Copies of this chain bind each other. A is one copy, B any other.
């Protein structure tokens, strides 16, 4: 039995569609009550099936607050696939033929999700990468920092035409460059992060509003109906309301649903003419020395010297420097050579050729000039 947390007025033109409502219950069961082909956009943030083992501690021994909630536990890949198949079928029935769907996930689950949705006849339009400016580091140094999550954007079927893609607006909001499949957005923190009375986060995986804004602005129109079958803390609803879209959320957990309802009630819709794309965060123009080597601007085996040619180091293929038997970054080796505590390797080291000394900083500028 679903309990509805509804604040929307009754609508006579679409009586069966519980607009701007959070349906409390299992999403497959709740979606069966909705009419077919009735929503314009789906955003789904399903459980990731993280399969965490033991505790993880930071180098300072503090404990990482893991996502160990029961809703993220599955017995096997098979069980996860069955779950995935069920909800993907349920939302597909409700999706208009011209509608599209977004799903977000990590490497733990996204391959399963992508495979199942292809098998069900969805047609992938893009995979989009959410690059995090501030991901949690890899504390043990045994893998690459997991600095992104993946979104799949899919149409209802291969022959679906007429889906919404606000190409011109996106391009205009992106310095007249085509919108790309890699998005740089910070994680949800600070004032945006919902906290309980105890000061603890309400939901372990709250998504940033900037991410949802990019989704809704790119693939929906004002007045469209956006369905989120894993509503959680209600980011989809909050952004939908702010941007003049309707939402339907489904959430099993009453506490999450209540927090989401309160959050959404506090949202002020933006004036229609103010609804434009949030400006993209400027890309940090950070260039690593390894990039110069990779791009062939500095050759492995080349000798670097300081401005007065007192010290010499050898460039290695991995973008480190060798100074005697010591290997390290341009900064650390620069400091070591001088006997200093710290050194800006970019200004310290130079390449010598027929024309004389060239600062490696000049090569970095060349990389930046090419658009990083």
Q: List residues of A (160-195) whose CB comes within 8 Å of B's CBs.
A: 165-176, 178-182, 184-186
Residues of B within 8 Å of A270, CB to CB, are 300-301, 317
Residues of B within 8 Å of A172, CB to CB, are 318-320, 327-329, 332
Task: State the Cβ distance, A40 to closest chain B Cβ, in Å.
Answer: 17
Binds B, one of A10-18, A87-95, A109-117, A230-238: A109-117
> If the complex has contacts A129-B129, A165-B142, A182-B129, are A319 and B111 also in contact, measured as CB distance less than 8 A?
no
Instruction: Assess whether A327 is in contact with B274, with CB atoms less than 8 Å apart.
Output: no
A294 close to chain B: CB less than 8 A: yes
Instruction: Assess whether B290 is in contact with A274, with CB atoms less than 8 Å apart.
Output: no
Residues of B within 8 Å of A300, CB to CB, are 270-271, 274-275
Chain B residue nearest to A275 in the complex (CB): B317
Residues of B within 8 Å of A142, CB to CB, are 165, 167
Residues of B within 8 Å of A214, CB to CB, are 294
> If the complex has contacts A137-B178, A138-B178, A172-B327, are A108 and B124 also in contact, measured as CB distance less than 8 A?
yes
| Contact bitstring A199-216, B, C-beta under 8 A = 1, else 0 | 000000000001001100
Residues of B within 8 Å of A150, CB to CB, are 127, 150
The bracket for how many chain A residues form the interface is 35 or more
Most chain B beta carbons < 10 A, residue from A131, A170, A179, A317: A317
Chain B residue nearest to A329 in the complex (CB): B172
> If the complex has contacts A147-B180, A301-B274, are A290 and B327 also in contact, measured as CB distance less than 8 A?
no
Q: List residues of A (95-148) whose CB comes within 8 Å of B's CBs.
A: 106-108, 110-115, 118-119, 124-129, 131, 133-135, 137-138, 141-148
Q: Which residues on A are within 8 Å of B, measured CB to CB? A: 57, 61, 77, 106-108, 110-115, 118-119, 124-129, 131, 133-135, 137-138, 141-148, 150, 152-153, 165-176, 178-182, 184-186, 210, 213-214, 217-218, 242-243, 270-271, 273-275, 278-279, 286, 288-291, 293-295, 300-301, 314-320, 322, 327-329, 331-332, 338, 340-343, 370-372
